[in-house]
Chains A and B, each alone.
Chain A
Amino acid sequence: MVRNIVVLGGNSHPELTKSVCEILGIPPCNRILTKFSSGESRCEIQDSVRGKDVYIIQTGFGGNGSRLNDHFMDLCIMISACKTGSARRVTAVLPLFPYSRQPDLPYKKTGAPLYKAQSESDKKNYTFDSVPVTPGPGTAQSTGLSNGADLLKSALTNGNGHANGDAYFGGQSIYTTHDYENASHVGAFQAKPGYKQWVAQAGTLVANLLTCAGADHVITMDLHDPQVQGFFDVPVDNLYGRPLLKRYIQTHIPNYKDAVIISPDAGGAKRATAIADSMGIDFALIHKVRSPPLAPIQAYQHPLFFTQERRPTKITDRQNASMMLVGNVTGRVCILIDDLVDTGNTITRAAKLLKKEGATTIYALITHGVFSGDAINRIKASAIDKIVVTNSVPQDEHKDLLGNKLDVLDISHIFAEAIRRVHHGESISVLFNHD
Chain B
Amino acid sequence: MSAEMANEIKLISGRSHPELSEKIAKRLGIEVARTISLNYSNQETSFTVGESVRDEDVFIVQSTATGDVNEGLMELLIMISACRTASARRITAVIPNFPYARQDKKDKSRAPISARLVANMLQTAGANHIITVDLHASQIQGFFSVPGMATRSLLTLLVLDRADSSVVDNLYAEPSFLRYIRENFKPEDCVIVSPDAGGAKRATSIADHLNTAFALIHKERPRPNVVGRMVLVGNVQDKVAILVDDMADTCGTLVKAAAVLKEHGAKSVLALVTHGILSGNAIETLNNSVLEALVVTNTVPLGDKLERCPKIRVIDISPTIAEAIRRTHNGESVSYLFTHAPV
Contacts and interface: CB of A to CB of B under 8 A. Distances in A.
Contacts of B123: 212
Contact of A69 (B74, B100, B120): B74
B51 A195 contact: yes
Q: Which of B70, B123, B249, B280 has the most CB of A within 10 A?
A: B70
Contacts of B44: 68, 98-99, 102, 202
A82 B106 CA distance: 12
B81 A84 contact: no
A190 B50 contact: yes
A197 B49 contact: yes
Interface in A187-207: 189-192, 195, 197-202, 204-205
B48 A39 contact: no
A78 B111 CA distance: 9
Interface in B56-113: 64-71, 73-75, 77-79, 81-82, 85, 99-100, 102-103, 106, 108-113
A85 interface: yes
Contacts of A246: none
A195 B114 contact: no
Interface size class of B (residues with CB under 8 A): 35 or more
B85 A67 contact: no
A192 B51 contact: yes
B67 A38 contact: yes
A85 B109 contact: yes
B223 to A, nearest CB: 11
Given A85-B109, A200-B79, A213-B117, A178 B279 contact: no
B237 interface: no
B43 A68 contact: yes
A76 B225 contact: no
B34 interface: yes
A147 interface: no
Nearest to B224: A36
Contacts of A199: 46-49
Contacts of B106: 84
B48 A179 contact: no
A49 interface: yes
Contacts of A180: 38-39
Interface string B308-334: 000000000000000000000000000
A44 B50 CA distance: 41
B81 A205 contact: yes
Contacts of A401: none
Contacts of B67: 38-39
B46 A190 contact: no
Contacts of A234: none
A370 interface: yes
B277 interface: yes
Interface string B277-294: 101100000000000000
Contacts of B117: 76-77, 80, 212-213
A148 B317 CA distance: 51
B41 A342 contact: yes
B7 interface: no
B124 interface: yes
A356 to B, nearest CB: 27
Nearest to A46: B110
B185 interface: no
B124 to A, nearest CB: 4
Nearest to B277: A38
A195 B50 contact: yes
B211 interface: no
A41 interface: yes
A43 interface: yes
B233 to A, nearest CB: 28
Given A209-B125, A213-B121, A191 B40 contact: no
A55 interface: no
Interface in B216-260: 224-225, 249-250
A107 B110 contact: no
A122 B215 CA distance: 76
A81 B111 contact: yes
A103 interface: yes
B45 interface: yes
Contact of B70 (A63, A73, A202, A209): A73
Q: Which of A62, A69, A77, A370 has the most CB of B within 10 A?
A: A69
B12 to A, nearest CB: 11
Given A208-B124, A209-B125, A37 B280 contact: yes
Interface of B: 34, 36, 38-52, 64-71, 73-75, 77-79, 81-82, 85, 99-100, 102-103, 106, 108-114, 116-117, 120-121, 123-125, 224-225, 249-250, 277, 279-280
